[in-house]
Structure formats: C-alpha cells, structure tokens
Structure 1
Amino acid sequence: MSKDIRIKKGLNINLVGAAEQTTTKAVLSNVYAINLNDFHGITPKMLVKQGAEVKAGEPLFYNKNREDMMFVSPVSGELVEINRGARRRILSLKILADKEQAVASHSPLKVDPATKDEVKAFLLKSGAWPFIKQRPYDIIANPDDTPKAIFISGYTTAPLAAESDYVLQGKEEELQAAINALGKLTPGKVHVSVGSASSSTLSVLSGIELHKVSGPHPAGLVGTQINRIDPINKGETVWTVSPQDLVIIGELLLTGKFNPERIVALSGSCVKAPKYYKTKIGAEISTFLYSSGVTDDKFRVVNGDVLTGSKSKPDGHLGFYNNTVSVIPEGDDYDLFGWNKPIFNKISATRALTFSWMQPNKKYDLNTNTNGEHRAFVVTGMYEKVFPMDIYPLQLLKACMVQDLDEMEQLGLYEVAPEDFALTEFVCVSKQPHQQIIREGLDLLYKEIG
C-alpha cells in the first residue's frame, strides 16, 4: 500500500531539449577521471602510485578518517595523473583505460543470511559505500551511525534530468538485492518514492514503504520527501541513495564485480538530438556530447542538471553522482532595458511584467545569464512560494551567513542540503549563491558540533 504525498509549493522549469527515451552506447573513453570534489569532506590517502596498473573495482585510495572505506577505479588501466592543489591536496585522478578491461572480483554476498556488519564490510571494501549519503550534512554516510530510515527518490522533477522510470527498466533483480541489503542497515523503513502516475520498477519491489508523490519541483528531491515523511531532528540520521546507484550496489552484491555503468541523459536546447547514452562514471563528456551534435558555438556544458550541476568543459569528465549532462546557451549577452519591458521568453515566479504564469506548460530556451548582479537580500516573499519545507528559508540563509550556530540548528539546517535551495537561488532577485551559503553553513555546523 502506498502513501500519497502532494506538494503544492514549487516551480516547474520546463526547458527545451528534454532527452528522447532512446539509449545509445557512448564511444569508449580513453581517459576516466575521479574528481575528489564529488566526495565532500573526505581526506584521501592513496593506495597506489602514479604509473601503477589498476583493475576496475580495485581501490585507489581510502578515507583517512575511516581506513576501511575504499574508493575504487571505474576501469582498468594506468593511473597516469594525480592532480594536486595547495598543500598537495589531491584534486583529481586520471586513469588511461585499457582496451581489454580487467575487473577485480569479490565473492558475491548472500544478503538474506548476512548480518548488518557483514553487509557494511562488503560495501566498504568493494567501493560501493560512497554511494550512500547521509542527512544531516549531506556527506558520505558514517558507517558507525545507525540511520532511523533510508530514503530513495525515483520521482524526477528537476529540469532536463534523467527520468528514473526509463533508466531503471529491466533492473528489478539488482534493485531488489540492493534494497534487501539496505534494509539490514536500519531498524526503520526503506522509503521509496515514485510519481503518482508512475509505473516505475521501484514500485514493485518488496521490503519498502512506497510513497506516490505529485507536485512541482522540488517534489522529486529526497530532502522534500524526508521533510514530509519523517523529518530529521537533532541527533537523528537518515541515509539516502539515488536509484542508479542502487543498481550498481545490487549488481555488486549479485556478481561481486563493480560495474560503474551510467545511463546519462544528454539534454538541452544546444543539443541537436538529445537522448540517453550508456557510459561509465568518470568518462569524458566529449565521448557522447558531439555524437548528438551541438547547435551553437557559445554553449555551456553543465555536469548535472541546470539547477544543481557544475560548469564543465566539453572534454571534462562525468561526475561520480551525475546521470545528466545539460547543454544550454552561454548567457554572455544582455537585453537593453530587459528589466523594464514585458517579458515573454523567460520563466519567473512573479507576475510583474512577465507572462510565464499564463502558460505553465510552455517550454523555454533559457541561457546562463543571471539577468542581474549580486546585491543585498531583498525581502520579497518569493522564496517561501517555491520552498515546500516547513522551514523559513530566508532566515536560515542569513543565519548561515552570520555563522549563528544556535539559529542554524533551530531553523532546520539539519534537514537540508544545498540542492534543496537550488530553486530559491533560481528565483532570487538578489542573485545570492544560496547553495554555496548552505554548503558553508553545513560545513561549519559539522566542524563545530558534528
């Protein structure tokens, strides 16, 4: 039996260039990269040296604060580059892939008779643990904690993002194995959310509590669902896993082999034929970007969706957690008196000189222009209209900026992640970097209270 969740506050950003639901195998990448920025708060300790030969699934480094937490290579090949920054901090690793792939193997884990500790040990040593993240703090989960529940969102509402219903087709066995294993790690429930009209593979799994969600973005974000289903209080922890990462975990449990395969949505108005590509974590974006063709000379590649992704070069590499690459026009031109005339080609949460509210299903071709400069916070009440959590977003942002720990706690920082503020950042007339502010607030709270 499912439990329905209806979200009323939010804003759907309908963009031109949604990926057609056909999948093509991407050209094999010569070089794969692991960006350490994807593992927030992790201090890596290398296990192999530059020039070493590694197998797919073989550990490259471990977490300094948790030596049994391994991070593994997505492919077999030569570790050709260890890119370091200030104080010799490791920024990224690059592996030159072999033509014939060799895979490190583990003994498959029989989940049903396995204990909680055996499941944890298997996921830690095999490199699958980094796929499990925790709230509060939005970091890789601490294996020593016991979460009160685990949340998985299979409802996609972010603009141009990969549709979970499509990419999970035919993965029932892997998903069920992963769910069975995760159920061992919590005394609570494994909450799975799908769209209200969805026929998702996730909805037929056993051992879950199913929720059918409807409403505008950010209804599909796991933070919104946690807030409605089982909010986080001080001292409590919940874990989250994305659906495609469940597939990797499940296949690893069943076969003993780490297969970091991704079905990536290449989307955006600058792509001639937006569709899905089968590739691997860390692959060069150019291996599938130019296969679909690019329609504009000035475009921006976003590693992720347009609200939460990061700017990337065409020869950049797919992020560890990303299953979407968005390509939209670079906004380096300006409208003369654009702020003082009727606007028909942009989305706005306000009705002042804009008409997007009259055509809620219209698709727009937006660029990266912020249409204004950074300025002090202007109190407009717009954040509350698109922020569905029972939290005061403006007050929480200000508490983070002034580093008031007591206010940050009382206003609900434990419940949120930077992605939960992507939509308020989009509608912000003050052009404040909301996601960065929340990330810095979470880091401070973890350092001081953790």
Structure 2
Amino acid sequence: MSKDIRIKKGLNINLVGAAEQTTSKAVLSKVYALNLGDFHGVTPKMLVKQGAEIKAGEAIFFNKDNESMLFVSPVSGELIEIERGARRRILSLRILPDKEQEVLEHPIFDVQSASKDSIKAFLLKSGCWPFIKQRPYDIIANPDVNPKAIFISAFTTAPLAADADYVLQGKEKELQAAITALAKLTPGKVHLSVGASSSSTLSGLTGVELHKVSGPHPAGLVGTQINKIDPINKGEVVWTVTPQDLVIIGETLLTGKFNAERVVALVGSSVKNPKYYTTKIGAEVSTFLYGSGVNEDNIRVINGDVLTGSKSRPDGHLGFYNNTVTVIPEGDDYEFFGWNKPIFNKISATRALTFSWMQPNKKYKLDTNTNGEHRAFVVTGQYEKVFPLDIFPMQLLKACLVKDLDEMEQLGLYEVAPEDFSLTEFICISKQPHQQIIREGLDLLYKEIG
C-alpha cells in the first residue's frame, strides 16, 4: 500500500529537447576521468601512482577521514595523469582504458542472510559506498552512523531529467538486491517515491515503504520528500540513494563485479536528436554528444540538468552522479531594453510583463542568460510560492550569508541540500547564487559542529 504525497508549491520549467525513449550505445571513450569535485568534503589519499596499471573496480584512492572508504576505477587501464591544483590538491584522475577490459572480482555472498557489518564492509571495499549520501550536510554517508531512514526518489521533475521508469526497465533483480542490503543498514524504513501515475518497476519491490508523489518541481527532489515524510531534526541522519546508483550497487552485490555503466539522457534544445545513451562514469561527453548532433556552435554543455548541473566542455567527462547531459544555447547576447517590454518567450514566476502563466504547458527554448545582474536581496515573497518545504527560504539564506550558526540551525539548514534551492535561484530577481550560499553554510555548520 502506498502513501500519497501531493505538492502544490513549485514551478515546472518546460523546455524544448526532451529525450526520446530510444537508447544507443555511446562510442568508447579514449580517456576516462574522475573529478574529485564530485566527492564534496572528501580528502583523497592515493593508493596507486601515476603510470600504474589498474583493473575496473580496483581502488585508486581512499578518504583520509575514513580509510575504509575506497574509490574505484570505472575501467581497467593506465592511470596517465593525476591533475593537481593549489597546495598539490588533487583535482582529477585520468585513465587510459585497455582494449580488453579486466574487472576486479569480489567474493559473492547471499544478501538475504548477510549481516549488517558484512554488507557495509562489502560496499566500502567494492567502491559502492560513495553512491550513498547523507543529510545533514549533503555529503557521502558516514558508515559509522546509523541513519534513521533511507530515501530513494524515482520521480523526476527537474527540467529534461532522465525518465527513471524508462532507464530502470529490466533492472528488477539488481534493484531488489540493493534494497534488501540497504534495509539492513538502518533500524528505520527504506522510503521509495514514484510518480502518482508511474508504472515503474520500482513499485513492485519489497522491503520498502512506497510513496506516490504528484505536483510540480521540486516534488521529485528527495529533500522535498524527506520534508513531507520524515523531517530531519538536530542529531538525526538520513541516507539518500538515486535509482541508477541502486542498480550499480545491486549488480555488484549479485556478481561481485563493479560495473560503472550508466544510461544517460542527452537533452536540450541545441541537440538535434535528443535520446538516451549507454556509457560509463567518467566517459568523455563528446562520445555521445556528437552522435546526436548539435544545432549551433555557441552552446553550453551542462553536466546534469539546467538547474543543478555544472558547466562542462564538449571534451569534458560525465560526472560520477550524473545521468543527464543538457546542451542549450550560450546566453552571451543581450536584448536592448529587454526589461521594459512584454516577454512571451521566457518563463517567469511573476506576471510583470510576462505571460508564461497563460500557457503552462508551452515548451520554451531558453539559453544561459541570467536576464539581469547580481544585486542585493529584494524581498518579493516569490521564493515562498515555489518552495514547498516548511522552511523560510529567504531567512535561511541570509543566516548563511552572515554565518549565524544558531539561526542556521533553527531555520532548518540540517534538512536541506543546495539542490533544494535551485528553483528559488532560478526565479531570483536579485540573481543571488542560492545553491552556493547553502553549500557554504552547510560546510561552515559541518566544520563548527560536525
């Protein structure tokens, strides 16, 4: 039996360029890369040297704060470069793949009868643990802490996000194995959310509490669902996992082999034939970007969706947690008196000279232009209209800016992640970097309170 959740506050951003439900195999990447920026808060310590030969699934580095937490290679090959920045900080690792892939094998055990400690040790050793993230702080989960619950969202509402129902077809065994294993790591429940009209394979999984969610974005964000199902209080911890990461965890448990394969949605108005591609974590974006073709030269490639993704180059690499790559026009041109005339081709949460509210189902071709400049916060009351959490967004952002730890705690910073403020950032007329402000606030809170 499912429990329904209906979200009323929010805003759907309908864009041109949704992926057709067809899947092609991406061209093999010449080089694979792990971006250390994907593992926020992790201080890496290398286990192999530059020039070393490594197998797929073999550990490359570990977390300095927890030596049992290993990070593995997505492919077998030669570690050709360790890119370093200031103070010799490791920025990325580049791997030249072998023609014949060799995979490190782990002993297989029965998930049903396995103990909590053995499952935890296997996930840490096999490199699957980084897929499990925690709140508060939105970082990789601490294996020494027991979460009160685990949350999985298979309902996608972000603009042009990959359709979970489609990419998870035929993965029932892997999903069930991962769910069974994770359920043993918490004394609480494993909460699984799907769309209210979804026919997802996830709906038939056992060992979960099913929730059917409806409403505009950000209804699909796991933070919104946590807030409506079991909010986080001070001293509590919950874990989150994405469905595609569950597949990798489940396959590793069943086969003993780490398989970094992903189904990626290549989307956006600048893509001629947006569709899905099968590739691997760390692959070059160009291996599937030009297979679908692009409409123009001046484009922005985004690793992720348009609200939470990061800027990438066409020869950049797929992020560790990403299953969407968005390509839209670069917004480096400006309209003369664009602020002082009726606007019909853009989305707005207000009705001041804008008319998107009259056509809620219209799809738009937007670029990266911010349509304004950075300025001091203007109090408009618009944030609250699209922010469904029981939190005051403006007050929390200001508390983070002034580094008031007491206010940050009282206003609910433990409960949020930067992505929860992506929509308020989109509609912000002050052009404030909401996600960056929340990230810095979380980092400060973790440093001072932990």
TM-score, normalising length: structure 2? 1.00
Q: Which amino acid aligns with 2:356?
A: S
Rounded Cα–Cα distance in structure 1 between residues aligned with 2:281 and 2:218: 25
Q: Which amino acid aligns with 2:273?
A: A
Rounded Cα–Cα distance in structure 2 between residues aligned with 1:202 and 1:148: 22
Rounded Cα–Cα distance in structure 1 between residues aligned with 2:163 and 2:152: 14
Q: Which amino acid aligns with 1:49?
A: K
Q: Which amino acid aligns with 2:258?
A: F
Question: Following superposition of structure 1 onto structure 2, how do residues 138-157 of structure 1 map, counting pairs within 5 Å?
Answer: 138-157=138-157
Question: Following superposition of structure 1 onto structure 2, how do residues 292-311 of structure 1 map, counting pairs within 5 Å?
Answer: 292-311=292-311
Q: Does 1:192 align with 2:192?
A: yes
1:342 Cα offset (Å)? 0.5
Partner of 1:40: 40
> What is the SS of the residue equivalent to 1:339?
helix
Rounded Cα–Cα distance in structure 2 between residues aligned with 1:103 and 1:123: 16
Question: Following superposition of structure 1 onto structure 2, how do residues 274-423 of structure 1 map, counting pairs within 5 Å?
Answer: 274-423=274-423
Aligned residues: 450
Q: Does 1:160 align with 2:148?
A: no
Q: In the TM superposition, what whole-angstrom CA distance separates every residue of 1:160-183 from its partner, at most 9, and x where no partner exists?
A: 110101000000000000000000
Partner of 1:256: 256
Q: In the TM superposition, what whole-angstrom CA distance separates every residue of 1:370-420 from its partner, at most 9, and x where no partner exists?
A: 000000000000100000000000000000000000000000000000000
Q: Which amino acid aligns with 1:389?
A: L
Q: Which runs of 4+ in 1 moved over 4 A?
A: none
Unaligned runs of 5+ in 2: none
Partner of 1:172: 172
Q: Which amino acid aligns with 2:143?
A: P
Q: In the TM superposition, what whole-angstrom CA distance separates every residue of 1:70-118 from its partner, at most 9, and x where no partner exists?
A: 0000000000000000110000000000011000000113111111111
Partner of 1:73: 73
Please tell me whether the aligned partners of residues 300 and 327 of structure 1 are also in contact (alpha carbons under 8 angstroms).
yes
Partner of 2:206: 206
Partner of 2:442: 442
Q: In the TM superposition, what whole-angstrom CA distance separates every residue of 1:11-52 from its partner, at most 9, and x where no partner exists?
A: 000000000000000000010000000000000000000000
Please tell me whether the aligned partners of residues 109 and 122 of structure 1 are also in contact (alpha carbons under 8 angstroms).
no
Rounded Cα–Cα distance in structure 2 between residues aligned with 1:298 and 1:372: 20
1:269 Cα offset (Å)? 0.3
Q: Which amino acid aligns with 2:128?
A: A
Q: Which amino acid aligns with 2:285?
A: I
1:142 Cα offset (Å)? 0.1
> What is the SS of the residue equivalent to 1:29?
coil
Q: Which amino acid aligns with 1:95?
A: I
Rounded Cα–Cα distance in structure 2 between residues aligned with 1:191 and 1:18: 28
Rounded Cα–Cα distance in structure 2 between residues aligned with 1:165 and 1:397: 35
Rounded Cα–Cα distance in structure 1 between residues aligned with 2:407 and 2:444: 13
Q: CA RMSD in A?
A: 0.4
Rounded Cα–Cα distance in structure 2 between residues aligned with 1:45 and 1:156: 35
Rounded Cα–Cα distance in structure 2 between residues aligned with 1:118 and 1:358: 56
Partner of 1:88: 88
Q: In the TM superposition, what whole-angstrom CA distance separates every residue of 1:148-201 from its partner, at most 9, and x where no partner exists?
A: 000000000000110101000000000000000000000000000000000001
> What is the SS of the residue equivalent to 1:179?
helix
Rounded Cα–Cα distance in structure 2 between residues aligned with 1:244 and 1:94: 23
> What is the SS of the residue equivalent to 2:94?
strand
Rounded Cα–Cα distance in structure 2 between residues aligned with 1:72 and 1:311: 24
Partner of 2:273: 273
Q: In the TM superposition, what whole-angstrom CA distance separates every residue of 1:184-243 from its partner, at most 9, and x where no partner exists?
A: 000000000000000001110000000000000000000000000000000000000000
> What is the SS of the residue equivalent to 2:174?
helix
- Same amino acid, percent of matched pairs: 83
> What is the SS of the residue equivalent to 2:254?
helix
Partner of 1:118: 118
Q: Which moved more, 1:102-111 or 1:310-319?
A: 102-111
> What is the SS of the residue equivalent to 1:328?
strand
1:297 Cα offset (Å)? 1.0
Rounded Cα–Cα distance in structure 2 between residues aligned with 1:357 and 1:166: 30
Rounded Cα–Cα distance in structure 1 between residues aligned with 2:4 and 2:445: 33
Q: Which amino acid aligns with 1:216?
A: P
Rounded Cα–Cα distance in structure 2 between residues aligned with 1:441 and 1:242: 24
Rounded Cα–Cα distance in structure 1 between residues aligned with 2:427 and 2:103: 46
Unaligned runs of 5+ in 1: none
Rounded Cα–Cα distance in structure 1 between residues aligned with 2:43 and 2:110: 32
> What is the SS of the residue equivalent to 1:407?
helix
1:54 Cα offset (Å)? 0.2
Partner of 2:58: 58
Q: Which amino acid aligns with 1:311?
A: K
Q: Which moved more, 1:108-117 or 1:296-305?
A: 108-117
Rounded Cα–Cα distance in structure 1 between residues aligned with 2:45 and 2:191: 34
Rounded Cα–Cα distance in structure 1 between residues aligned with 2:32 and 2:303: 15
